[in-house]
């Protein structure tokens, strides 16, 4: 073996040793045998014709033993190997508020321009000890008249979806990011949503549901503070302060494109299966 190959072998062996020690593998030692010195002169000599090369006297190469490995906590080791994975979100603190107190704080709201075109404020309704909550974007025309969320055609479809996964409508909680109907049923603007969102979060803190199903882009982006689209995140559990969140399509979108019902059903089956595994009375 020529000196260049031997030097490469030594360096690779040393790297493998350091890698095993970083992973916490014990009882691994590197024993260096005598090896010829890799000097500049010997490298030059290697490149000269053999008849003119003067062999150098081999010298022992001393490779110092690495310092003893200090075992790190699992999280620190993962960070060192893969980079920081980020800390888990802080759990949602419990709240002793009542819905009546929250709705009283909302009052006859005029915080954003939507108040000028509404008929009524549409509050969250349903079981205030619910394991499952549904959140949409804003009331439509029927909801604005009846002062109840999801009672129009989209709401009727949502009721069927709820029943299909083994719940009754009165067993779950249903609300929207915004409580006033936007003109023409357009999505609320970020500024409009920011006025209502704190009250929704206060309601979530009171109920502490196990799963929240967010219906459509607006609801998902507001609750999760994400720029990702619904088609990218739907069907995969997300996390809101320790609460599982399942993004899926809004029922109004399913009425426009029935082909998406299969994907929505797949999403809701995951919610059903998860709740089946954690079935407890709240």
Domains of the chain are: 3-82 (no CATH), 99-277 (3.40.470.10)
Q: What is the C-alpha separation between 251 and 263, in angstroms, rounded?
A: 12
Task: Give the confidence band of 83 by pLDDT, cuts at 50, 70, 90.
Answer: very low
Whether the Cβ atoms of residue 119 and residue 144 lie closer than 8 Å to each other: yes
What are the pLDDT digits (tens) for 174-222? 999 999 999 999 999 999 999 999 999 999 999 999 999 999 999 999 9
**If you ran DSSP here, which 8-state letter would residue 275 be given?**
H
Q: Which residue has the higher pLDDT, 50 or 133?
A: 133
For 197-224, letters b (16+ CB in 10 Å) and e give bebbbbbbbbbbbbbbbbbbbbbbbbbb
pLDDT at res. 3: 61
Strand order across the 238-240 sheet: 125-126, 173-176, 132-136, 211-215, 243-248, 238-240
For 233-254, letters b (16+ CB in 10 Å) and e give bbbeebebeebbbbbbbbbbbb
Q: What is the C-alpha separation between 193 and 215, in angstroms, rounded?
A: 15
Q: Measuring CA to CA, which residue among 123, 135, 138 is closest to residue 181?
A: 138
What are the pLDDT digits (tens) for 128-187? 999 999 999 999 999 999 999 999 999 999 999 999 999 999 999 999 999 999 999 999
- Residue 18 in tokens: 């350091």
Angle at 183 between CA 177 and CA 187, to 5 degrees: 40
Task: Give the confidence band of 93 by pLDDT, cuts at 50, 70, 90.
Answer: confident
Count of CB atoms within 10 A of residue 119's CB? 14
pLDDT at res. 21: 54
pLDDT at res. 279: 85
**If you ran DSSP here, which 8-state letter would residue 241 be given?**
T
Q: What is the C-alpha separation between 38 and 168, in angstroms, rounded?
A: 79
Full-model pTM: 0.69
Q: What H or E segment, with its residue span, contains residue 16?
A: helix 3-22
pLDDT at 82 over 70: no
Q: What H or E segment, with its residue span, contains residue 133?
A: strand 132-136
Whether the Cβ atoms of residue 102 and residue 199 lie closer than 8 Å to each other: yes
Task: Give the confidence band of 1 by pLDDT, cuts at 50, 70, 90.
Answer: low
pLDDT at res. 74: 39
3-state secondary structure of 134: strand
Whether the Cβ atoms of residue 270 and residue 257 lie closer than 8 Å to each other: no
pLDDT at res. 155: 98
DSSP-derived pairing of the beta strands 173-176 and 238-240: unpaired
Q: What is the C-alpha separation between 144 and 139, in angstroms, rounded?
A: 6
């Amino acid at each position: 073996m020529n000196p260049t190959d031997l030097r490469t072998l030594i360096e690779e062996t040393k790297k493998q040793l350091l890698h095993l020690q970083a992973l916490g593998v014990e009882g691994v030692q590197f024993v260096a045998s005598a090896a010829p010195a890799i000097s500049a002169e010997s490298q030059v000599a290697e490149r000269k014709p053999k008849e003119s090369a003067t062999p150098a006297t081999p010298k022992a190469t001393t490779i110092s033993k690495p310092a003893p490995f200090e075992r790190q906590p699992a999280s620190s080791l993962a960070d060192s190997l893969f980079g920081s994975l980020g800390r888990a979100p802080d759990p949602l603190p419990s709240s002793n508020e009542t819905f009546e107190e929250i709705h009283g704080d909302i009052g006859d709201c005029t915080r954003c321009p939507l108040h000028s075109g509404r008929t009524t404020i549409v509050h969250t309704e349903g079981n205030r000890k619910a394991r499952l909550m549904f959140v949409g974007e804003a009331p439509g025309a029927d909801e604005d008249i009846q002062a109840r969320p999801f009672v129009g055609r989209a709401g009727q479809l949502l009721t069927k979806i709820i029943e299909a996964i083994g719940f009754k409508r009165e067993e779950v909680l249903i609300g929207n990011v915004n409580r006033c109907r936007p003109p023409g049923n357009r999505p609320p603007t970020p500024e409009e949503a920011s006025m209502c969102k704190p009250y929704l979060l206060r309601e979530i803190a009171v109920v502490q549901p196990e799963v929240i199903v967010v219906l459509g882009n607006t609801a998902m982006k507001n609750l999760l503070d994400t720029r990702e689209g619904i088609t990218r995140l739907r069907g995969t559990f997300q996390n809101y302060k320790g609460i599982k969140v399942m993004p899926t399509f809004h029922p109004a979108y399913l009425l426009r494109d029935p082909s998406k019902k299969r994907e929505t059903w797949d999403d809701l089956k995951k919610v059903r299966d998860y709740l089946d595994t954690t079935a407890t009375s709240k």
